[in-house]
Amino acid sequence: MEGKKMYVSVGIGFGLIAALLAYFGNPANMAICVACFIRDIAGSAKLHTAPPVQYLRPEIIGIIFGAMLVAIPRKEFAAKGGSSTATRFLLGVMMMIGALVFLGCPLRMVLRMSGGDLNAYVGLIGFVGGILTGSLFLKSGYSLGKSVETKTTSGVMIPGFFLALFGLFLLVPSLFSVSAEGPGSFHAPVLISLGGGLVFGGLAQLSAICFSGSIRDIILMKNFNRFTGVLTLFVVVLIYNLATGNFNLGFTEQPIAHTEHLWNILGLYVVGFAGVLLSGCPLRQLILTGQGSSDAGVTVIGMLVGAAFAHNFGLASSGEGTTEFGRIAVILCIVLLFVIALTHRGKKTA
């Protein structure tokens, strides 16, 4: 019971942070979204040139360092790496492509659900299906191999990279692009965004919460603890949306969403499948990065590159729907996920 109480508390914290960020200016139904915010960072750093989605989101830096600040005193910070590095990078790219075809990571899926967006409920079918598929491979011996201890400097390289970007953004803002309209133009004040990210990351480190992991735990172990935190987040943000008039039940007229059900399902199928193969959803990859895992850090860089590819090559969806190239990319991602899962069964080393 203590475990469930802790996850309820964490879920309440998550929900309050999401509500706070939404209240102070983050996009509707996108108060905090790992995939969308990494995409915005890629745009701000000019890795892609899509004008509506360019802003260096402080929440991402906050999440990474919030996790680190909690991990260090708890002796949970450990520099590790070397587990199928190139494969993890590719999985990060694919996870981002799937998220941008759906238009959101699993965290945003829950926030969209709490706002009444029925397209997110449809996408949930694919997310659960992807997790179920990955779980079957876990049961058959899938593994990317064990990470090994590395120098501390290796564990802080990726956090340091994002901190340097953020520092440059504050000191020399002219180096970066910032959206004049669209989702990238909506953002809470920097200090509120950074503070919200720090607390969010700290709570996620304390609880080891993971959106794909919470469902995987149910499938493999009948353990509902982590899912309790996700459910609590949903309830808190649902209450916020109902209280502020932001609840809109339906498929149409949803902020930054499309109604192509098959591709909502398949986009999140990719995210769920990749999340199990990586042992963590996009949020969990940020937390593990702050914990010193260069394997997770490489995955996050893969997500950054995936965001650039998605927008530079017309793979990302919009409120108008998916693109032909995006649909092709999702099918290719699914094929590659099966190839990776099949070829890493029984592997004990990277």
Helix (H, G, I), strand (E, B) or coil at 202: helix
Give me the residue spans of the domains in the chain.
2-343
Cβ-Cβ contacts under 8 Å for 207 (sequence gap 6 or more): 6, 7, 10, 226, 229
Q: Quick one: pLDDT band at residue 2, thresholds 50, 70, 90?
A: low
The one-letter code for the residue type at 271 is V
User: How confident is the model at residue 191, as a pLDDT?
Assistant: 98
Q: What is the mean pLDDT of the chain?
A: 96
The answer on pLDDT for 349 being more than 50 is no
User: Could you tell me if 326 and 316 are in contact, meaning their C-beta atoms sit under 8 angstroms apart?
Assistant: yes
DSSP assigned state of 346: T
Helix (H, G, I), strand (E, B) or coil at 142: strand
The one-letter code for the residue type at 27 is P
Give the pLDDT confidence of 169-210 residue by residue, as tens digits. Answer: 999 999 999 999 999 999 999 999 999 999 999 999 999 999
* Residue 107 backbone dihedrals phi, psi, to 5 degrees: -60, -45
Dihedral angle sign, alpha carbons of residues 309, 27, 264, 91? positive
Cβ-Cβ contacts under 8 Å for 12 (sequence gap 6 or more): 232, 236
The one-letter code for the residue type at 305 is V
Rounded percentage of the chain residues whose pLDDT exceeds 70: 98
User: Could you tell me if 309 and 99 are in contact, meaning their C-beta atoms sit under 8 angstroms apart?
Assistant: no
Cβ-Cβ contacts under 8 Å for 225 (sequence gap 6 or more): 3, 4, 7, 217
**In the block, residue with structure tokens 């499309």:** 258
